[in-house]
Amino acid sequence: MKKLVTIFAMMLVFLQGFSQVVYEDVSNTGIYEFLDELATMRLISLYSEVKPYSRRYIAGKLHDAETADSTHRLNKRQQKELSFYLQDYQLETSSGVIRQTSHLADDYDYKLSFLLKKQPDMVVALNPPGFHYKDSLFTFSVRPILGVQWMTNENGTAYHRWWGGSMFGYIGKNFGFYANLRDNNENTPTAEPAYFTPEQGAVYKYSDKGTVDFSEMRGGMVASVGWGSIGIINDRMIWGDNYHGSNILSGKAPAFPYIQLHLNPSKWFNFNYMHGWLNSNIIDSSRSYYNGSVYREVYRNKFIAANMFTFIPWRGLNLSLGNSIIYSDINVNPLYLIPFMFFNSADATKNNYNNDGGSNSQLFFNISSRQIRHLHLFLSFYVDDWKTSRATDPNKHNFTSLKAGFHIDNFPIRNVAFTAEYTGTQPMTYDHYNPTSTFSSNDYILGSYLRENSRELFLALSFHPLRGVLLNASYTIAQHGDNVPYRIDAGYAVDEVPFLKNITWQNHSFEISARYEFVSNGYFFIRYLNSNREGEVIYQPEIMNGKTNSFLTGINVGF
């Protein structure tokens, strides 16, 4: 690890002419939804197959929508949304890429800011809330994080409180950094690894009172040029287009550290690579030991390397393919630090085609089409193990996951959108007979939140009546089949386990929600959820068992 940090530091010294990169949390759904709306209306182009986006990237897209000869196509609500979000990203837009201003204070709404005397480059603002500073060399922003959510239904009540802070900054034109700390408290865990929920997972600390605490720490440092960036990051990532959870990398697992490389040397080509340090949660008995009466548990090493090549043959059509590998029980292997590798082939050669001594590799494809105005078509196909002979045998299956859907925005009615999305995942996908080679971290599957042997249909209708206001109605049918262990010596063929022969868990849910973004990164929300969950109760928190009518409300400031 020290060598990797040294290499990164050397690159900062020798590379010049950089622009800054700081990533926006994927939980800040308002800005991500607005960019998707602009792209679906063909007002901007968007690489939506990989998230999170950088703040600089977001600012550039907002600028494209503001300055392109298409502003007359924005309705009044969208124009207000655009002005609202430009207020948040002015630390990026005032640095000279979009416009040059003499003082930071000039960019802020006077009514919502408190200027520091004799310091025109400093401001304490209410929108976005926090302390902000900018001069010719250094940009810095500190923002609060706080929120609470309360839920009640026939089974009881649940609450979730969180607080903390975030900061980000840029030094010169070649370096960006960010950090985000959030402390959480719940009276009952709602996203344990076994639960079928798209809610982000966590590493829980249980108290004697039955409540749980957990801490979230994200951050990174990134250097970039106009055609790419490299960084050391601890965060969540999403690979694959979706509106209700990706089946490639969903971002559900707790944040883990990774090295990221992004290249965009041409308008028709985009490349992403990452090498991450996962948590296997498998104890390495050979390295664990007693320190007096205390037994120190050491986990077995586990890593992921992944890349995605995206080609844009025509504006609005993104064709992506990539592959990944989970390897374990050894230290970092330089073979998997080569970004452009086909990892399955490289691993087979390294291990003399010994499957038991090798690693677990994956292949995936993503298609995103916004060539027809108002319509977004998308498809993600994840392959864990494939044999052509299985494809022609009705009694066998390959280990794959398919997600496909469409999203219609502002047609035929302005400010109204409709989404339909299907996900189907065959048995054994994401799993592996070697427990350190599963497609997971901290026991959370990195792919679909329903894991293997499952399917889901998601429908949603949303309406933006005013700036910052979202009314949404959705219906979800989710089903999960038998959990059959992936064992090569179990006496059955793992590729003959039937898809959803027995439904061991299912959920029919209808949800109505309202959300208001009153300041940048600040949301008030209220939800009503009617759900009927049947089958194994281990797949959901006790408060969600059976037929329930749940009411949720809360407020959040900062991410």
Q: What is the DSSP string of 507-537?
A: EEEEEEEEEEEEETTEEEEEEEEEEEEEE-G
Q: Which domains can be identified in the chain, with CATH numbers?
A: 2-557 (2.40.160.130)
CA angle 10, 12, 18 (to 5 degrees): 150
Question: What is the pLDDT, as a whole number, of residue 13?
Answer: 46
Give Cα 104 distance to the centre of its chain. 31
Classify each residue of 242-268 as buried b or exposed e, where b means 16 or more C-beta atoms within 10 Å of its C-beta: bbbbbbbbbbbbbbbebbbbbbbeeee
**Is residue 418 pLDDT above 70, yes or no?**
yes
CA distances (Å), origin 160, targets 123, 182, 245: 32, 12, 22
Cα-based angle 190, 242, 411 (whole degrees, multiple of 5) = 120
For 58-68, write each residue's pLDDT tens digit. Answer: 999 999 998 86
- In angstroms, the CA 447 to CA 482 distance is 18
pLDDT tens, position by position, 502-541: 999 999 999 999 999 999 889 999 999 999 999 999 999 9
Residue listed under structure tokens 């319509």: 375
Q: Are 224 and 17 in contact (CB under 8 A)?
A: no
pLDDT, tens digit (0-9, with 9 covering 90-100), for 263-295: 999 999 999 999 999 999 999 888 888 888 888
Instruction: Name the average pLDDT for the chain.
Output: 90
**pLDDT digits over 219-235, tens only?**
999 999 889 999 999 99
> Tokens at residue 86, please?
């430009």
What is the average per-residue pLDDT within 61-90? 86
The pTM (predicted TM-score) of the whole model is 0.92
| Interval 102-140: pLDDT, tens | 455 555 554 455 655 556 688 888 888 999 988 888 999
Q: What is the mean pLDDT of residues 333-359?
A: 82
The single-letter code of the amino acid at 48 is S
